[in-house]
Amino acid sequence: MVSKIKKMKKLAVKKPVYFVKLVNQTSPKFAHNAIAANKDVIWTYEYWLESNTSAKGALELEMDLNKMKKKNENAQSKAMNDDAISAVQNHVGKEYEVKLTSR
């Protein structure tokens, strides 16, 4: 190097973000109703990179009715959303941030 760096400002680097959105639920949506109806509960999510909204992936999660039957609907919803975030995080890698969205 023929020159000497006198001063250099450090850039703040933001982690790339994947968004996850719930797009479909089977009927019934929650464990207590599904057990009574003897049906499975499947929630479908889409995910995409913030910088490329036209390329979307999808995943389906089947609710474990035995684990969810004693939880209220809000807790079931939170658990399913957390599982979707975790699945996408494992798929895309730790170098990305994964967030739930409703947009």
pLDDT in tens, 11-40: 887 889 999 999 999 999 999 999 999 999
Q: How many independent structural domains does the chain possess?
A: 1
**1 within some domain:** no
Q: Check residue 64 and give its pLDDT.
A: 97
**58 within some domain:** yes
The whole domain housing 63 covers 17-100
Q: Check residue 1 and give its pLDDT.
A: 67
Asked whether the predicted pLDDT for residue 42 surpasses 90, the reply is yes
Of the listed ranges 1-15, 32-46, 52-66, the one predicted with least confidence: 1-15
**4 within some domain:** no
**75 within some domain:** yes
**41 within some domain:** yes
**25 within some domain:** yes
**12 within some domain:** no
pLDDT in tens, 70-85: 999 999 999 999 999 9
**DSSP secondary structure, 35-101, as one string:** HHHT---EEEEEEEETTEEEEEEEEEEE--HHHHTTS-HHHHHHHHHHHHHHHHHHHH-TTSEEEE-
**69 within some domain:** yes
